[in-house]
Structure 1
Amino acid sequence: MRQAQAGWIAGAAAAVLVAVGALTYAVAEDGGSSATPSAGSADAGFARDMAVHHQQAVEMSYIVRDRTDDEEVRRLAYDIAQTQANQRGMLLGWLDLWRLPKVSADPPMTWMGMGDMPSEGEGSLMPGMATDAEMARLGKLGGRKAEVYYLQLMIDHHKGGIHMAEGCVDRCAVGVEKDLAQGMVEGQQSEIDLIEGMLRERGATPRS
């Protein structure tokens, strides 16, 4: 189990390094605004908030990997962890290149005009994010129950991520970041469709 975990972590770390290594070229070739975003811009806000959002998806995927032997769910979890760790590395790398802080004194989603939205519970910082209690529950379930709960949580997570990514498509100025956000919209919607089918196969439905 430890060897498998090390493989997952090493793979995610390698994905981040590849992403960061491509950042300078991507920004140099950017087809959008040539100006460096400000700390309060939509570009910076999206990069900060989506990095946090993605980190929780990676954590959920690691948790379910240890709670089930189902190869289909483990493969999905691996794909999500790799993809979102890669994208998170790009987002944080852009903040480094722009010499902007990775944290803000403003509430999450301020860049979308949603900084005053109520939280769904401790740990749920942005739309779709699981609460601390939900994360703890996932870590205690096993087998089919863990699979179903993970799939339900991930649908909610992806819906929140899509909402944020669409906000960047509308508000961000940096071309490569807008392109990444649009790719997130399309990729996560495709995964929602897949996950809904996996839930049906297990006699379950999305939570909402």
Structure 2
Amino acid sequence: MSRTYWAAGAAVLLALLFAAAATVSAASGGGADAAPRTPALHSPDAGFARDMAVHHQQAVEMSFVVRDRTQDEAVRSLAYDIANTQANQRGMLLGWLDLWGLPKTVAGEPPMSWMGTGDGHAGHGAHTAAPGALMPGMATKEEITRLGTVSGREAEVLYLQLMTDHHKGGVAMAEGCARQCVTPAERALAQGMAEAQQSELTLMADMLAKRGAAPRG
């Protein structure tokens, strides 16, 4: 395995450790460093938890799809790591919403609207959602359908390109929470997410280059 792959794996492990610590902290009230109050319905803390749970769910879905479309062990291993990590993190985020007594969906709330509150960094590092995509970086239904119809190198390249876009959107959101969220454990988890996904972006660029391809846009 390449050094880049090991770096990405270490970053993913770090993110999971943050997630485990976050759950303990949230369940126990967080000790001396805990947030002074439960996050409000439209706070960055709650908005990030809701939006990133949706964002992660699509990454898990795409990762399971590509594992059935290729026999390439490097891509299958990456897909497994992404699916496992993001499914666990998604559980953490939804668990926080339960602990805070907040809904997992809010009717009429635009995706990522929480990034326009707090410190004035609205949209920092993010890009515009593609037509038909729910949030920046997310794939469209047509792209996911296509992923399920191609195979071999074509499936590998498409998955790596879609997941590269997905990670870029995820990193922008995670960095937004790291700046704006007030719950220390959630900020730590968001920072771990951003670092892990940055490492995976480097890995995926290398994997695309080995297949004679490159990230989109």
TM above 0.5, yes or no, is yes
Secondary structure of 2:148's match? Answer: helix
What residue ranges of structure 2 are gaps of 5+ in the alignment? 1-15, 117-121
| Contact 2:22-2:189 within 8 A present in 1 as well | no
| Contact 1:128-1:161 within 8 A present in 2 as well | yes
| Contact 1:20-1:89 within 8 A present in 2 as well | no
**RMSD (CA atoms):** 2.1
How many equivalent pairs are there? Answer: 188
| 1:29 equivalent in structure 2 | 30
Displacement of 1:29 in angstroms is 2.5
- Ranges of 4+ aligned residues in structure 1 off by more than 6 Å: 19-22
Give distance in 1, aligned partners of 2:143 and 2:115. 26
| 1:9 equivalent in structure 2 | none
Amino-acid identity (%): 63
| 2:102 equivalent in structure 1 | 100
| Contact 1:20-1:93 within 8 A present in 2 as well | no
| Contact 2:70-2:151 within 8 A present in 1 as well | yes
Query: Which one-letter code corresponds to 2:46 in the other structure?
Result: A
Displacement of 1:39 in angstroms is 0.6
Q: Which has the higher contact order (CA 8 A, sep 6+)?
A: 2
Displacement of 1:207 in angstroms is 0.6
Question: TM-score under structure 2 normalisation?
Answer: 0.82
| 2:210 equivalent in structure 1 | 201
Give distance in 1, aligned partners of 2:135 and 2:160. 18
| 2:200 equivalent in structure 1 | 191
Question: TM-score under structure 1 normalisation?
Answer: 0.85
Displacement of 1:26 in angstroms is 1.7
Structure 1, residues 88-140: CA drift from partner, whole Å, max 9, x if none? Answer: 0000000000000000121111101269x974232x11110001111111111
What residue ranges of structure 1 are gaps of 5+ in the alignment? 1-15
Displacement of 1:168 in angstroms is 0.4
